[in-house]
Amino acid sequence: MARVRLHHLQAAKNEGRKFAMLTAYDTMMAGIFDSCGIEVLLVGDSAANTVMGYSSTLPITMEEMVVFAKSVTSGARRALVVCDLPFGSYEVSPEQAVASAVKLMKEGGVHAVKLEGGQYFVPHVRALVAAGVPVMAHIGFTPQSEHALGGYRVQGRGEAGQGLVADARALEAAGAFAVLMEMVPTEAALLVDESLSVPTVGIGAGGATTGQVLVWQDMLGLGSGKSARFVKKYADLRTVVAGAVSAYHSEVLDGSFPATEHGFGQ
Protein backbone atom coordinates (compact mmCIF):
# COMPACT_ATOMS: atom_id res chain seq x y z
CA MET A 1 0.00 0.00 0.00
CA ALA A 2 1.20 3.50 -0.79
CA ARG A 3 2.12 5.99 1.92
CA VAL A 4 -0.69 8.06 3.41
CA ARG A 5 -0.11 11.63 2.27
CA LEU A 6 -1.47 15.00 3.25
CA HIS A 7 -3.90 15.06 0.33
CA HIS A 8 -5.47 11.81 1.57
CA LEU A 9 -6.29 13.51 4.87
CA GLN A 10 -7.64 16.55 3.00
CA ALA A 11 -9.74 14.22 0.80
CA ALA A 12 -11.23 12.66 3.94
CA LYS A 13 -12.38 16.10 5.07
CA ASN A 14 -13.66 17.03 1.60
CA GLU A 15 -15.59 13.79 1.20
CA GLY A 16 -16.91 13.51 4.75
CA ARG A 17 -14.76 10.51 5.70
CA LYS A 18 -12.81 9.99 8.94
CA PHE A 19 -9.21 8.99 9.71
CA ALA A 20 -7.55 7.59 12.82
CA MET A 21 -4.35 8.72 14.51
CA LEU A 22 -2.59 6.91 17.35
CA THR A 23 0.59 7.66 19.25
CA ALA A 24 3.61 5.39 18.79
CA TYR A 25 7.07 5.54 20.33
CA ASP A 26 8.72 2.28 19.25
CA THR A 27 9.16 0.25 16.11
CA MET A 28 7.10 -2.84 17.04
CA MET A 29 3.96 -1.01 18.12
CA ALA A 30 4.32 1.33 15.14
CA GLY A 31 4.45 -1.72 12.87
CA ILE A 32 1.29 -3.21 14.40
CA PHE A 33 -0.68 0.05 14.23
CA ASP A 34 0.51 0.63 10.66
CA SER A 35 -0.55 -2.87 9.59
CA CYS A 36 -4.00 -2.18 11.09
CA GLY A 37 -4.37 0.73 8.69
CA ILE A 38 -4.05 3.59 11.19
CA GLU A 39 -3.57 6.55 8.87
CA VAL A 40 -1.42 8.77 11.09
CA LEU A 41 1.12 7.83 13.77
CA LEU A 42 2.02 10.54 16.27
CA VAL A 43 5.41 10.47 17.94
CA GLY A 44 3.90 12.35 20.87
CA ASP A 45 5.81 14.23 23.53
CA SER A 46 3.43 12.16 25.72
CA ALA A 47 6.41 9.74 25.58
CA ALA A 48 7.59 11.88 28.51
CA ASN A 49 4.69 10.38 30.50
CA THR A 50 4.09 6.97 28.93
CA VAL A 51 7.68 5.88 28.30
CA MET A 52 9.87 8.01 30.55
CA GLY A 53 7.66 8.31 33.63
CA TYR A 54 7.63 12.10 33.95
CA SER A 55 4.45 13.68 35.33
CA SER A 56 4.28 16.23 32.49
CA THR A 57 5.51 16.59 28.91
CA LEU A 58 7.79 19.53 29.73
CA PRO A 59 11.09 17.71 30.39
CA ILE A 60 11.40 15.66 27.17
CA THR A 61 14.23 16.87 24.92
CA MET A 62 14.81 17.07 21.16
CA GLU A 63 17.47 14.35 21.42
CA GLU A 64 14.97 12.03 23.12
CA MET A 65 12.26 12.83 20.57
CA VAL A 66 14.69 11.97 17.75
CA VAL A 67 15.21 8.50 19.25
CA PHE A 68 11.45 7.86 19.43
CA ALA A 69 10.95 9.31 15.95
CA LYS A 70 13.61 7.02 14.42
CA SER A 71 12.09 4.02 16.16
CA VAL A 72 8.61 4.78 14.81
CA THR A 73 9.60 5.62 11.23
CA SER A 74 11.57 2.37 11.01
CA GLY A 75 8.36 0.45 11.82
CA ALA A 76 5.86 2.44 9.75
CA ARG A 77 5.48 1.48 6.11
CA ARG A 78 2.25 3.20 5.20
CA ALA A 79 1.21 5.64 7.93
CA LEU A 80 2.02 9.32 7.84
CA VAL A 81 4.33 9.96 10.80
CA VAL A 82 3.86 13.25 12.66
CA CYS A 83 6.21 14.23 15.49
CA ASP A 84 5.60 16.70 18.33
CA LEU A 85 8.01 19.60 18.63
CA PRO A 86 8.87 19.30 22.34
CA PHE A 87 8.56 22.18 24.82
CA GLY A 88 11.36 24.70 24.28
CA SER A 89 12.27 23.57 20.76
CA TYR A 90 10.23 26.12 18.75
CA GLU A 91 8.83 28.97 20.89
CA VAL A 92 11.91 31.22 20.74
CA SER A 93 11.65 32.04 17.03
CA PRO A 94 10.50 30.80 13.62
CA GLU A 95 14.18 30.01 12.97
CA GLN A 96 14.34 27.79 16.06
CA ALA A 97 11.17 26.01 14.94
CA VAL A 98 12.61 25.31 11.49
CA ALA A 99 15.92 24.06 12.91
CA SER A 100 14.12 21.67 15.29
CA ALA A 101 11.72 20.40 12.63
CA VAL A 102 14.57 19.84 10.16
CA LYS A 103 16.40 17.75 12.80
CA LEU A 104 13.29 15.60 13.42
CA MET A 105 12.84 15.07 9.67
CA LYS A 106 16.52 14.53 8.84
CA GLU A 107 17.47 12.34 11.83
CA GLY A 108 14.07 10.98 12.86
CA GLY A 109 12.66 10.49 9.37
CA VAL A 110 9.25 11.96 10.24
CA HIS A 111 6.98 13.45 7.58
CA ALA A 112 5.45 16.33 9.53
CA VAL A 113 5.59 18.08 12.90
CA LYS A 114 2.98 19.24 15.40
CA LEU A 115 3.27 22.31 17.60
CA GLU A 116 1.10 23.57 20.45
CA GLY A 117 -0.33 27.07 20.43
CA GLY A 118 -2.57 29.65 18.75
CA GLN A 119 -2.22 32.82 16.66
CA TYR A 120 1.09 33.76 18.30
CA PHE A 121 2.70 30.90 16.37
CA VAL A 122 1.54 32.01 12.92
CA PRO A 123 5.09 33.24 11.98
CA HIS A 124 6.53 29.92 13.15
CA VAL A 125 4.03 27.92 11.07
CA ARG A 126 4.68 30.14 8.02
CA ALA A 127 8.45 29.64 8.32
CA LEU A 128 8.06 25.86 8.68
CA VAL A 129 5.74 25.60 5.69
CA ALA A 130 8.09 27.77 3.60
CA ALA A 131 10.92 25.39 4.54
CA GLY A 132 8.89 22.40 3.32
CA VAL A 133 7.78 21.14 6.71
CA PRO A 134 4.13 20.10 6.92
CA VAL A 135 2.65 21.40 10.19
CA MET A 136 -0.23 20.12 12.31
CA ALA A 137 -1.38 22.80 14.76
CA HIS A 138 -2.54 21.82 18.29
CA ILE A 139 -5.01 24.11 20.10
CA GLY A 140 -7.44 23.91 23.02
CA PHE A 141 -5.76 22.24 26.00
CA THR A 142 -2.05 22.39 25.22
CA PRO A 143 -0.24 20.28 27.85
CA GLN A 144 3.09 22.09 27.38
CA SER A 145 1.39 25.23 28.78
CA GLU A 146 -0.30 23.52 31.72
CA HIS A 147 1.21 26.01 34.17
CA ALA A 148 0.05 29.01 32.13
CA LEU A 149 -3.41 27.47 31.66
CA GLY A 150 -3.77 26.66 35.37
CA GLY A 151 -3.93 22.88 35.08
CA TYR A 152 -5.55 20.15 33.01
CA ARG A 153 -8.86 21.65 32.05
CA VAL A 154 -11.27 22.00 29.15
CA GLN A 155 -10.54 25.05 26.95
CA GLY A 156 -12.88 27.09 24.76
CA ARG A 157 -16.05 26.96 26.85
CA GLY A 158 -18.64 29.68 26.11
CA GLU A 159 -17.19 32.89 24.61
CA ALA A 160 -13.72 31.33 24.42
CA GLY A 161 -15.07 29.10 21.62
CA GLN A 162 -14.73 32.07 19.25
CA GLY A 163 -11.08 32.37 20.30
CA LEU A 164 -10.53 28.78 19.21
CA VAL A 165 -12.10 29.54 15.83
CA ALA A 166 -9.88 32.63 15.41
CA ASP A 167 -6.74 30.63 16.30
CA ALA A 168 -7.69 27.77 14.01
CA ARG A 169 -8.41 30.06 11.05
CA ALA A 170 -5.13 31.95 11.54
CA LEU A 171 -3.16 28.68 11.71
CA GLU A 172 -4.88 27.36 8.59
CA ALA A 173 -4.12 30.62 6.76
CA ALA A 174 -0.48 30.26 7.86
CA GLY A 175 -0.39 26.90 6.09
CA ALA A 176 -1.14 24.25 8.74
CA PHE A 177 -2.36 21.07 6.99
CA ALA A 178 -4.57 20.11 9.96
CA VAL A 179 -5.65 21.48 13.33
CA LEU A 180 -5.78 19.21 16.37
CA MET A 181 -8.04 20.13 19.27
CA GLU A 182 -7.58 18.70 22.77
CA MET A 183 -10.27 18.86 25.49
CA VAL A 184 -12.68 21.36 23.99
CA PRO A 185 -16.49 21.25 24.12
CA THR A 186 -18.06 19.17 21.33
CA GLU A 187 -19.97 22.25 20.05
CA ALA A 188 -16.80 24.38 19.90
CA ALA A 189 -14.98 21.64 17.97
CA LEU A 190 -17.87 21.44 15.50
CA LEU A 191 -17.73 25.21 15.02
CA VAL A 192 -13.96 25.08 14.40
CA ASP A 193 -14.32 22.16 11.98
CA GLU A 194 -17.00 24.01 10.01
CA SER A 195 -14.83 27.16 9.92
CA LEU A 196 -11.86 25.36 8.36
CA SER A 197 -11.11 23.87 4.96
CA VAL A 198 -8.35 21.66 6.37
CA PRO A 199 -9.09 18.52 8.41
CA THR A 200 -9.37 18.67 12.21
CA VAL A 201 -8.28 16.01 14.68
CA GLY A 202 -9.82 15.62 18.11
CA ILE A 203 -8.97 14.19 21.54
CA GLY A 204 -11.75 14.95 23.96
CA ALA A 205 -13.33 17.15 21.29
CA GLY A 206 -16.41 15.11 20.34
CA GLY A 207 -17.26 13.42 17.06
CA ALA A 208 -17.31 16.26 14.52
CA THR A 209 -13.58 16.27 13.74
CA THR A 210 -12.25 14.49 10.65
CA GLY A 211 -9.71 12.57 12.69
CA GLN A 212 -9.48 11.18 16.22
CA VAL A 213 -6.31 10.58 18.24
CA LEU A 214 -5.57 8.66 21.44
CA VAL A 215 -2.45 7.69 23.36
CA TRP A 216 -1.95 3.97 22.72
CA GLN A 217 -1.22 2.97 26.33
CA ASP A 218 -4.53 4.59 27.30
CA MET A 219 -6.70 2.91 24.64
CA LEU A 220 -5.09 -0.49 25.13
CA GLY A 221 -5.35 -0.31 28.94
CA LEU A 222 -1.64 -0.55 29.73
CA GLY A 223 -1.57 2.23 32.29
CA SER A 224 -2.51 2.04 35.95
CA GLY A 225 -4.91 4.43 37.58
CA LYS A 226 -7.80 6.48 36.29
CA SER A 227 -7.73 7.65 32.69
CA ALA A 228 -9.15 10.87 31.25
CA ARG A 229 -12.82 11.09 30.28
CA PHE A 230 -11.96 11.08 26.56
CA VAL A 231 -10.25 7.66 26.72
CA LYS A 232 -12.05 4.52 25.59
CA LYS A 233 -10.30 1.34 26.74
CA TYR A 234 -10.35 -1.12 23.82
CA ALA A 235 -8.27 -3.74 25.66
CA ASP A 236 -6.89 -4.51 29.11
CA LEU A 237 -3.22 -5.07 28.28
CA ARG A 238 -2.14 -4.43 31.87
CA THR A 239 -4.02 -7.56 33.00
CA VAL A 240 -2.83 -9.57 29.98
CA VAL A 241 0.83 -8.62 30.58
CA ALA A 242 0.65 -9.15 34.36
CA GLY A 243 -0.92 -12.61 33.85
CA ALA A 244 1.76 -13.71 31.39
CA VAL A 245 4.65 -12.32 33.43
CA SER A 246 3.32 -13.96 36.62
CA ALA A 247 3.04 -17.31 34.80
CA TYR A 248 6.65 -16.97 33.56
CA HIS A 249 7.79 -16.06 37.05
CA SER A 250 6.17 -19.04 38.75
CA GLU A 251 7.30 -21.47 36.00
CA VAL A 252 10.91 -20.32 36.42
CA LEU A 253 10.67 -20.74 40.19
CA ASP A 254 9.02 -24.22 40.01
CA GLY A 255 11.28 -25.41 37.17
CA SER A 256 8.55 -26.03 34.57
CA PHE A 257 10.18 -23.45 32.28
CA PRO A 258 12.31 -24.18 30.33
CA ALA A 259 10.90 -27.52 29.13
CA THR A 260 12.91 -29.99 26.99
CA GLU A 261 11.81 -28.30 23.72
CA HIS A 262 13.31 -24.98 24.81
CA GLY A 263 16.77 -26.53 25.10
CA PHE A 264 19.35 -27.73 22.56
CA GLY A 265 20.53 -31.33 22.08
CA GLN A 266 24.13 -32.51 21.63
Ligand X SMILES: Nc1nc(=O)c2c([nH]1)NC[C@@H]1CN(c3ccc(C(=O)N[C@@H](CCC(=O)O)C(=O)O)cc3)CN21
Ligand Y SMILES: CC(C)C(=O)C(=O)O
CB of 134 vs ligand X, minimal distance in Å = 22
Residue closer to ligand Y by CB (options 44, 134) is 44
Residue closer to ligand X by CB (options 49, 209) is 49
Q: Is 43 helix (H, G, I), strand (E, B) or coil?
A: strand
For 93, 205, 217, the CA distances from 176, given in Å and listed in that order, are: 17, 19, 28
CA distance 191 to 54: 34
Residue 42 site contact among Mg ion, ligand X, ligand Y, none (CB < 5 to 8 Å, cut-off depends on kind): ligand Y
CB of 228 vs ligand X, minimal distance in Å = 3
Instruction: Give the count of beta carbons closer than 10 Å to the beta carbon of residue 137.
Output: 29
> Residues comprising the binding site for Mg(2+)?
45, 84, 116
Instruction: Name the residues that contact Mg ion, by CB under 5 A.
Output: 44-45, 84
> SS3 helix, strand, coil % of the chain, rounded to 5?
45, 15, 40
Q: Does 42 bind ligand Y (CB under 6 A)?
A: yes
Residue 193 site contact among ligand Y, ligand X, Mg ion, none (CB < 5 to 8 Å, cut-off depends on kind): none
Q: Is 19 helix (H, G, I), strand (E, B) or coil?
A: strand
19-23 vs 112-116, strand pairing mode: unpaired
Q: Which of 95, 146, 182, 251 is catalytic?
A: 182
Candidates 13, 19, 23, 171; binder of ligand Y (CB under 6 A) is 23
- For residues 56 and 38, the answer to whether their CB atoms sit within 8 Å is no
Residue closer to ligand X by CB (options 73, 144) is 144
CA distance 197 to 28: 35
Q: Does 215 bind ligand Y (CB under 6 A)?
A: yes
Q: Does 46 bind ligand Y (CB under 6 A)?
A: yes
Question: For residue 4, which of 187, 199, 215 has the smallest C-alpha distance?
Answer: 199
CA distance 122 to 174: 6
Residues 193-212 that bind ligand Y (CB under 6 A): 203
- Is 182 a catalytic site residue? yes
Residue closer to ligand Y by CB (options 73, 247) is 73
Q: Which residues are catalytic?
A: 182
**What is the contact surface with ligand Y in residues (CB under 6 A)?**
23, 42, 44-46, 84, 180, 182, 203, 213, 215
